């Protein structure tokens, strides 16, 4: 019996980097309370609020329902939960990188991307950045955070550019792990600080067994940022897009409601 539905975000609940669509928001609203809902992604807390929480509020999710939403930020190296009494989010834990680690990773990625001709600083929008310190990980986004979705999809559809950057960065800064995610991103972190870390803490914090979680992700192939969850032996549904996820969630709600 599943107690927790856990989700990758980009391309699992949304079109990468955009707020979740109405249909997903309504399905998650209806599932909150029936299941604990636990998105886990490399993104920052602020992005979880914009992409998920604000959209849930738009479709009438109550503060009491939000107490069943668990935000595993930066691959679950940070965990936030909602308190209806305080009407606010509280950080339960945080495992940040040191300044030295951030500097090493940032320097190595920039050098590799420049060498390979993939440093697209001239394509950035004002105020945007290619490498972002997300506290527990450093994230490279080739065209920045604010680039249009189409441009992002077109940049590296076969992951070849990012694979080349990763190969070089591993020579420059071998002490870290690098994962390809989203459409233009590479996440760098201390070994073990991937979704396994987040999932292991999720099991502990929500007091559930592996068999009680169902996970949804679009990058479940070896090397993808959802693969570590598969390797842990957690039941996983591989989706191509949020439309696949919506289809599966409608089925889960239908079965639940007919019990």
User: In angstroms, rounded to a whole number, what is the distance separating the alpha carbons of residues 244 and 242?
Assistant: 5
- For 147-157, b where at least 16 C-beta lie within 10 A, e where not — what string? beeeebeebbe
User: In angstroms, rounded to a whole number, what is the distance separating the alpha carbons of residues 140 and 130?
Assistant: 6
Q: Is 254 exposed, middle or buried (0-12, 13-18, 19+ CB in 10 A)?
A: exposed
Around Cβ 50, how many Cβ atoms within 10 Å?
A: 15
Report the residue number, 9 or 190, with the smaller CB distance to Mg ion: 9
Q: From the CA atom positions of the chain, what is the Rg in Å?
A: 18
Q: Which stretch binds Mg ion (CB under 5 A): 27-35, 73-81, 190-198, 215-223?
A: 215-223
Q: Which stretch binds Mg ion (CB under 5 A): 1-9, 20-28, 132-140, 197-205?
A: 1-9
Report the residue number, 65 or 75, with the smaller CB distance to Mg ion: 75
By the rule CB under 5 A, 187 interacts with Mg ion: no
Q: Which stretch binds Mg ion (CB under 5 A): 50-58, 128-136, 211-219, 227-235?
A: 211-219
Q: How far is the CB of 42 from Mg ion (least distance, A)?
A: 9
- DSSP strand pairing (4-7 vs 36-39): parallel
Report the residue number, 101 or 141, with the smaller CB distance to Mg ion: 141
DSSP 8-state class, residue 212: G
Q: Which residue is nearest to Mg ion (CB)?
A: 10
Report the residue number, 10 or 132, with the smaller CB distance to Mg ion: 10
Residues 4-23 that bind Mg ion (CB under 5 A): 8, 10-11
Q: How far is the CB of 11 from Mg ion (least distance, A)?
A: 4
Residues 223-242 that bind Mg ion (CB under 5 A): none
Tokens of 245: 């996820």
Residue 43 neighbours by CB under 8 Å, 6+ apart: 9, 10, 51, 73, 74, 134
Q: How far is the CB of 133 from Mg ion (least distance, A)?
A: 21
Q: Which stretch binds Mg ion (CB under 5 A): 2-10, 98-106, 193-201, 203-211?
A: 2-10
Q: How far is the CB of 137 from Mg ion (least distance, A)?
A: 15
By the rule CB under 5 A, 218 interacts with Mg ion: yes
- Pair 42, 187: CB distance under 8 Å: yes
> Rounded to 5 degrees, what angle do the CA atoms 91, 25, 65 make?
50
**Count of residues in contact with Mg ion, rule CB under 5 A:** 5
Residues that bind Mg ion (CB under 5 A): 8, 10-11, 218-219
């Amino acid at each position: 019996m599943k107690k927790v539905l856990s989700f990758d975000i980009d391309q699992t609940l949304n079109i990468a980097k955009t707020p979740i669509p109405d249909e997903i928001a309504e399905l998650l609203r209806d599932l909150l309370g029936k299941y604990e809902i636990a998105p886990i992604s490399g993104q920052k807390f602020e992005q979880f609020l914009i992409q998920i929480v604000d959209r849930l509020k738009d479709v009438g999710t109550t503060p009491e329902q939000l107490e069943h939403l668990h935000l595993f930020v930066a691959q679950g190296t940070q965990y936030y939960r909602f308190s209806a009494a305080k009407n606010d989010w509280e950080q339960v834990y945080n495992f940040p990188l040191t300044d030295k680690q951030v500097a090493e990773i940032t320097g190595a990625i920039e050098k590799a991307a420049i060498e390979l001709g993939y440093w697209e600083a001239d394509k950035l929008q004002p105020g945007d950045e290619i490498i972002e310190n997300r506290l527990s990980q450093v994230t490279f986004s080739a065209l920045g955070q604010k680039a249009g979705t189409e441009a992002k999809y077109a940049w590296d559809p076969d992951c070849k550019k990012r694979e080349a950057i990763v190969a070089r960065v591993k020579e420059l800064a071998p002490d870290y792990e690098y994962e390809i995610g989203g459409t233009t991103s590479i996440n760098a972190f201390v070994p073990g600080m991937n979704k396994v870390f987040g999932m292991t803490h999720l099991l502990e914090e929500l007091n559930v067994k592996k068999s009680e979680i169902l996970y949804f992700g679009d990058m479940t192939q070896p090397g993808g940022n959802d693969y570590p969850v598969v390797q842990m032996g957690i039941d996983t549904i591989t989706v191509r897009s949020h439309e696949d996820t919506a289809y599966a969630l409608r089925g889960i709600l239908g079965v639940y409601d007919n019990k």
